[in-house]
Structure 1
Amino acid sequence: MGSHVGNDEDKISQLPDALLSHMLSFLLTKDAVRTSILSKRWKNIWASVPSLDFEHYSCAGFVSFVDRVLYYRDSLDIQRFRLHFKCFPIDVSSIDRWIRTATSHNVVELDLCLNFLGGVEFEVPESVFECKTLVVLKLKSDSSFTYAPPKLGCFPNLKCLHITIDYPDKDLLEKLFSYFPVLEDLSVEGEWNDHVNCNVKLFVPKLKRLSINIHSTGYFDEPYEYYFSIDAPKLEFLDLRVDILPSMSFDNSKSLVKAIVGFYYHPAIMQEHFCDRATKILAPVSNVEHLSLSAHFLDASCIPAFGNLIHLKLVLHDCYRWEVLAELLKKSPNLECLVLEHEQDNNCYPENSEDEENAVDQENTEDPWWNCEESAPRCLLSHLKTVLIRGFMGCRDEKQAAKYLLKNGAVLEEMTIYVDNVLYSREKLCMEFAHFQRGSMTCRLQLV
């Protein structure tokens, strides 16, 4: 990029410094620095970029490069400081120095991904916890990551905290979540093993969004316990995805509007406490208007009443466990939109399959819930307007469920079915559905 390209004037180089600096902020810092060779006009633009983005996975020359960049920017504030670093060996004093520099230059967003090989431990500087300008903090690390937050004055203006920790110890978890006076968005992720026995207490008075995504790496054959106590009176959105169900309690959860709940498959679902913990986890979200529920082997008895629920997405992992859907319809009188999503199960077969006789559950064949004589759920008679079915496999029970919804959906306006099995004739399926009885004569049926 010179001053001219052919007869065309270089219009980009004529842009104001502030705009060029903003454009470079979307690049890795090493690429932003490289633009200094383009021309004299570009020589020092990179030095005013408000965002510093360092990403490296080897040590050769990286430490000196970061030091030089910070030296040339010594008098300028740092809006965003991103450091994703993985190498061996490393002098952690350099990492400490860079983070302290960022916090001393009024950093607003701090994004750290620090994985040290060889058993090296790194303690997050106290300046991170005390930084008055810090609004967004993202921390990702393995078990080498440690910290000792001060007892008072932590995160005075922090509004967003995303933390990913693999294989943490008990003390690490219990010390991490201290009082957050203005935090609005909290995300906790990681892989935990079967040695986690901790009590995590959160009191977050202004929290609006909470995400917990934890996968276990052990079989948990022995008794285990990790406990979340959450007091968040302004919480509006909850995203909970776990396989080993924790003991969890919510205080002041009446402000919840939307929830995503996913219980991943794990051998622990066969343990006696699974149903009890599932019930206690679902109870606090019973006031939501929007719910996405995905669970393996969830018993219908765990389902609470959802008096405010308008939009429901239910992910089915076993196409013959429809009693959960039945219970949700019964306990959601104001439901307007239903999304059913099927994740393929090896035990689910299309109707024309040779293995169908083995696939159909005997109990469902004799008394499926959609053939019962009792009146249809209230939501079908007066509120449900839209049904969307994804991953339709052509199984007998899937068709019967769709038939039941069509027949009893008195105010149903649209049903859309995405067929996900090329072995099943879509044309035959369309003809079959065309003969199904409909409770609403204005309902539009689409098979995609």
Structure 2
Amino acid sequence: MGSNSRCCKPCIGDRISGLPDAILSHILSFLTTEDAVKTSVLSHRWFDVWTSVPKINLTLGSQAAFEPFAQFVDCVLFFRGSSNIHTFQLRCSVIEEDFCRIDPWIYTAVRRNVVEFEFDLDVDVDSKSHRYEGYELPRRLLMCNTLEVLKLTLNHKDIIINPPSDCFPSLKFLHVTLQYPGGHSLEKLLTCCPVLEDLIIEGHLKDDSVVNINVSAPKLKRLRMRLSMDLVRWDEGDYKMLEYKCKRIYINADAPNLEEFNLRDNFLASYSLNNAKSLSKAMIDLGRLYTLEDPDFARDSADRMHRLFAGIHNVTYLSLSSPVYGDLFTRDRYHLPTFNILNCLELHLEPCFSWQFLTKLLNISPNLEYLVFAIHISYTAKLENRESEFAVGQWSQPDFVPICLLSSLKKICIQGFHAWPDDIEVVKYLLKHGEVLNTVKICPSYFHSEEEMKLRQKLSMFPKGSRTCQIEVMKIKS
């Protein structure tokens, strides 16, 4: 009887097959379309479940043959019938002669009320003739009323966009990936999105790239830029800076309703945020600018940084990560705009010039309430064994106490604290002049318990400008 009872238990596969079609379709939507189609051989129950999956994910690798792939796509779209396509993802490597096969696929997606469209077209370089003009996105897609999300990978002149003035009537999210861009398709694209709310531009540029991006989006709320360039060449365990050639990369945004700006850039292009009256949050990550030692870069970068900061000076939250960049603004001739309403500041800098840069930022943030300061030692500094240099005195008390220390700064958190002489002097200064401080949290980088105890005792002996200020010493949670 025990054996019979075990035989009567339904198997896991039967349980899944008994689920409603809507749930099965949702499960298959996490697979590629090729894998989803393969489930049709499982049983009669699964024969046509894939045809109702709202997501189509089609990928052709560079080494695969295009014709079998095209036949498969034709069959998939034919057997789906008239069911709606919510998401259409197409990534394929083609030659110029294959362009005529792509248009009907996009037309079908538009007819089936596509909401999200992702397109990555890689054209075989060997197939490009001297008359090669690239693939032009169909007008039907540009005019699609149901399209809300568009993700494009723009390779060098492979995708051409000639949008009419009234295109993308419903597009709210646009994600563009640049692969060694050329032409003006991106610039045309970003000036005709009337309801766009979220824009992401990312990619890897060549050191001689010419990029002019003009964003004009009246309803844009979030702008994220993630750009990189090869500025370093590794040679037998050492690195060498490449020639600085990124002066011809300009990004201009006119977005009166922009609320959040997120920038990650390792070469500092020229950014201008115009009319960003609603901007409240900015996150700037400039990576490790190896070209800092380049004289051309040093002459040009201060103006670029000032222009960038001028566009974000109305934010209430600012995160700035630039391990080797603060040195530019410890020099008296470089000035930054005042952040009158900034109340939360996060800094991630290297210690060799962090404290002087901190003083400058405190001076231009008169209403700052919360400060997070993270000290990092860059990878290149470790390679060059320059860690010991960071302990050398760089701190000098400012001529005037920053206004925020006297009237608004309530919380300070210092991460990566090394207890070097400068570190101790800065904390001593902040405690002494912070008249409204409630909490100062110190997070040592690699202290033992005994060292933490000694540090806690030492800090408790410093005079405090605020009677209510509490000092906390704790390890950073990993």
Distance 2:179 2:305 in 1: 24
**Residue pair 1:318, 1:348 contacting (<8 A) in 2 also:** no
Shift of 1:172: 3.6
Distance 1:374 1:232 in 2: 37
Q: 2:237 maps to which residue? A: none
Pick from 262, 272, 288 the counterpart of residue 239 of structure 1: 262
Partners in 2 of 1:430 and 1:92 — Cα distance? 70
**Partner SS state of residue 307, structure 1:** coil
- 1:259 corresponds to which residue? 282
String of CA shifts for 1:179-201, please: whole Å, max 9, x gaps: 21111111111222243345432
Distance 1:128 1:417, change over 3 A: farther
SS of equivalent to 1:315: strand
Point out where structure 2 has 5 or more consecutive residues left out of the alignment. 1-5, 129-133, 232-241
* Structure 1 match to 2:318: 291
Counterpart position of 1:225: 248
CA distance in 2, matches of 1:246, 1:215: 10
1:319 counterpart residue number: 352
1:190-229 → structure 2 map (5 Å cutoff): 190-217=203-230, 219=242, 221=244, 224-229=247-252
| CA–CA separation in structure 2 for the residues paired with 1:354 and 1:196 | 33
1:125/1:147 contact within 8 Å kept: no
Number of positions where the alignment pairs a residue of Structure 1 with one of Structure 2: 433
How far apart are 1:354 and its partner, in Å?
11
Deviation at 1:140, TM superposition (A): 1.5
Q: Provide the rounded CA distance (Å) in 1 between the counterparts of 2:263 and 2:181.
A: 19
CA distance in 1 between counterparts of 2:355 and 2:308 reads 21
Contact 1:380 1:405 in 2 (8 A): yes
Which range moves more in the overlay, 16-25 or 90-99?
90-99
**1:372 to 1:259, Cα distance in 2 relative to 1, 3 A:** closer
CA contact (8 A) 1:173 1:198 kept: no
- Contact preservation (8 Å) 1:278, 1:302: no
CA contact (8 A) 1:126 1:148 kept: no
Distance 2:444 2:15 in 1: 51
Asked whether the 8 Å contact 1:319–1:342 carries over to 2, the reply is: no
Contact 2:190 2:217 in 1 (8 A): no
1:33 counterpart = 2:37: yes
CA 384–189 in structure 1, closer or farther in 2 if over 3 Å, else same: same
Deviation at 1:417, TM superposition (A): 3.7
The AA in structure 1 aligned to 2:339 is F
The structure-2 alpha-carbon separation of the partners of 1:318 and 1:169, relative to structure 1 and needing over 3 Å to count, comes to farther
Distance in 2 between the 1:200 and 1:241 partners?
A: 16
CA RMSD of aligned residues (A): 3.0
Shift in CA distance, 59/273, structure 1 to aligned 2, threshold 3 Å: same
CA contact under 8 A between 2:314 and 2:339: conserved in structure 1?
Answer: yes
1:401 equivalent in structure 2: 426
The SS at the match of 1:435 is: helix
1:18 counterpart = 2:25 = no
Report the 3-state secondary structure (helix = DSSP H, G, I; strand = E; otherwise coil) of the residue aligned with 2:180.
coil
Q: Percent identity of the aligned residues? A: 36
The amino acid across from 2:422 in the alignment is D
Q: Paired residue for 1:59, among 58, 61, 64?
A: 64
Tell me: CA distance 1:114–1:385, structure 2 relative to 1, closer, same or farther (3 Å). Answer: farther
Taking structure 1 as reference, are residues 55 and 414 closer, same or farther at Cα in structure 2, changes over 3 Å only? farther
Distance 1:266 1:5, change over 3 A: farther
> For residues 100 and 140 of structure 1, what CA distance do their matches in structure 2 show?
19
**Aligned counterpart, 1:103:** 110
Which SS does the other structure have where 2:151 is aligned? strand
Where 2:310 maps in the other structure, the secondary structure is helix
The structure-2 alpha-carbon separation of the partners of 1:347 and 1:323, relative to structure 1 and needing over 3 Å to count, comes to farther
Q: Deviations over 1:59-106 (max 9, x none)?
A: 254333222211111311110011233478983433333223212321
Match of 2:192 among 175, 179, 191: 179
1:324-348 deviation line (CA, Å, top 9, x unaligned)? 2112222222222222223323687
Equivalent residue for 1:430, pick from 441, 449, 453: 453
Which one of 362, 378, 383 corresponds to residue 403 of structure 2?
A: 378
Residue aligning to 1:138: 151
Task: Give the 3-state SS of the residue equivalent to 1:191 in structure 2.
Answer: strand
> Does structure 2 conserve the Cα–Cα contact (< 8 Å) formed by 1:319 and 1:345?
no
- Cα deviation, 1:363-408, whole Å, max 9, x if unaligned, reads x2xxx23x44643x33333433333333334443334333433444
Which TM-score applies when normalising by structure 2? 0.81
Q: TM-score, normalised by structure 1?
A: 0.86
**Aligned-pair CA distance for 1:311:** 1.5
CA contact (8 A) 1:194 1:224 kept: no
> Which has the larger displacement, 429-438 or 410-419?
410-419
Instruction: Indicate conservation of the 8 Å contact 1:289/1:311, yes or no.
Output: yes
- Deviation readout 1:38-61 (Å, 9 max, x if unpaired): 332222111101111223424254
In the alignment, the residues of structure 2 paired with residue 158 and residue 178 of structure 1 have an alpha-carbon distance, to the nearest angstrom, of: 12
Residue of 149, 167, 173 corresponding to 2:180: 167
CA drift of 1:157 comes to 1.0
**In terms of mean alpha carbon deviation, does 24-33 or 152-161 score higher?**
24-33
Q: Between Structure 1 and Structure 2, which shows a larger proportion of helix residues?
A: 2
1:322 counterpart SS class: helix
